Structure 1
Amino acid sequence: MKITLMKGKIHRASVTEADLHCEGSISIDRALSQAAGFLTNERVEIYNIDTGARFATNVIEAPPGSGIIGLNGAAARLAMPGDKIIIVAYALFDDAEARTFRPRVVRVGRENRILSD
């Protein structure tokens, strides 16, 4: 049996841009994406804290240190710049892995900068 667990998340990121006419995806600052353990093209779930919208798309890379969290294509209809979102990736684990695995949780503050714990 496989168990689905959160693999990584970026918590309370601010959407910086929304481009309806760009190919669909979410652009994430490379430094944030790496800190959360996200891979380019990986499926992520997005939870809009401000509106309650929940949707999925794939990750594309934005320049490291840019703070960019950009929604592209149809996803741009579900959040607007300034909205706070949670971005989560999940993975399948067998029972033994699931009992020891620890997800990467990245908390961000102003301008989507990583907060230290």
Structure 2
Amino acid sequence: MNGDQASGKLWVREVLKSKLHRAVITEADVEYEGSIEIPRDLMDAADLWPGEKVLVASITTGARLETYVLEGPPNTGKILINGGAAHLIKKGERVAIMAFGYSDTPLKPKNLLMGDNNEILRNR
């Protein structure tokens, strides 16, 4: 027990709750108004909501950006990056899509490892 726990203080921390690791961007559309579209089945597996803020980090280039999730048709494997974000992350790039939450206790995040067609290879 650390000093803060002994004194009765609780700290709320921002922690990783969901991650789609090594997902592939299948389309990029600069003209769309913004967001990242993720198939509904992958959203459910990663516990993501429409409109939820996510951090998208390109494993290919190192570019990082925040945007929000749009629900895409299930079972397509299509992950689309839209708007200005499509200038930073392009079609064919591998990305990590991460969502965070607030908790006063450690969380075990949903960690999905994605294959070449955005199929789930491992779900921890």
Letter in 2 for 1:104: K
Larger Rg: 2
Between Structure 1 and Structure 2, which shows a larger proportion of helix residues?
Answer: 1
Structure-2 residue corresponding to 1:91? 101
Structure-2 residue corresponding to 1:77? 87
Letter in 1 for 2:49: L
Residues in 2 aligned to 1:76 and 1:46: alpha-carbon distance in whole angstroms: 11
Structure 1 stretches lacking a partner, 5+ long: none
Residue deviations 1:29-61 (CA, integer Å, cap 9, x gap):
111111111110000000001111010000001
Structure 2 stretches lacking a partner, 5+ long: 1-10
Residues in 1 aligned to 2:119 and 2:70: alpha-carbon distance in whole angstroms: 18
Structure-2 residue corresponding to 1:5? 15
What is the TM-score when the length of structure 2 is the normalising length? Answer: 0.87
Q: CA deviation at 1:106?
A: 0.9
1:54 to 64, 77, 91: 64
2:76 to 49, 61, 66: 66
Structure-1 residue corresponding to 2:31? 21
Residue deviations 1:67-101 (CA, integer Å, cap 9, x gap):
0110010111111111000000001101xx32xx2
Structure-2 residue corresponding to 1:115? 121
Pair 1:42 & 2:52 matched: yes
Q: CA deviation at 1:107?
A: 0.9
The alignment-based identity, stated in percent, is: 41
Root mean square deviation, CA, Å: 1.0
2:121 partner SS: coil
Q: After TM superposition, where is structure 1 displaced by more than 4 Å over at least 4 residues in a row?
A: none
What is the TM-score when the length of structure 1 is the normalising length? Answer: 0.92
Residues in 2 aligned to 1:8 and 1:43: alpha-carbon distance in whole angstroms: 11
Residues in 1 aligned to 2:92 and 2:117: alpha-carbon distance in whole angstroms: 10
